Amino acid sequence: MSDLYQLGRRLTELAYKGMGGSDLDLTPSDFLVLRDLFMNGQSSITDTVNRTGLAQSKVSTSGRKTLAAVTEQVKLEGDRRRGRSAQAALDLVLADADPDERERLAAALGRLHQLLVGEPLGEIRTLASEQARL
């Protein structure tokens, strides 16, 4: 279970960096709350806590009846960042794998997402798949 937890943390870190979370001067917890509000719209603190798994103190010190939402500008920027390809992040962390192995790992990641989240993962192409297309 420890290995699974570490894998989850590493994937979260890659997504956080890939979506530019570190560029926003936000902690990963702040980014997670912002992402939750972006995905679910105006929400109570309790609902945000339940969806993110963060402690209520991380989400807010103001109480359950507080509603929070993102601005239209944040929503537009979020759409832009969420639309970024995972290719660059995967190519970086899979650089030591041969092209065939990178393809298999990217496919396995997509399948794992489908099984755990219940929907197909957006297209993930590694450097190997791009080279194969050329």
DSSP for 87-128 reads HHHHHHHTTTS-HHHHHHHHHHHHHHHHHHHSSPPPP---HH
70 shares its domain with 44 = yes
CATH number (domain holding residue 78): 1.10.10.10
Q: What is the DSSP letter of 68?
A: E
25 shares its domain with 63 = yes
Which residues constitute the domain of residue 56?
Answer: 1-84
Return the pLDDT at 30.
Answer: 87
76 shares its domain with 98 = no
8 shares its domain with 61 = yes
Structure token pair of residue 88 = 């660059």
- What pTM was computed for the model? 0.55
pLDDT tens column, 22-54: 888 888 888 888 889 889 998 988 999 999 999
Check: CB of residue 68 under 8 Å from CB of residue 60. yes
28 shares its domain with 75 = yes
10 shares its domain with 62 = yes
89 shares its domain with 35 = no
113 shares its domain with 52 = no
Structure token pair of residue 82 = 């969420």
Residues of the chain with pLDDT under 50: 62, 125-129, 131-134
Measure the CA angle with vertex 83, ends 82 and 85; round to 5°.
105
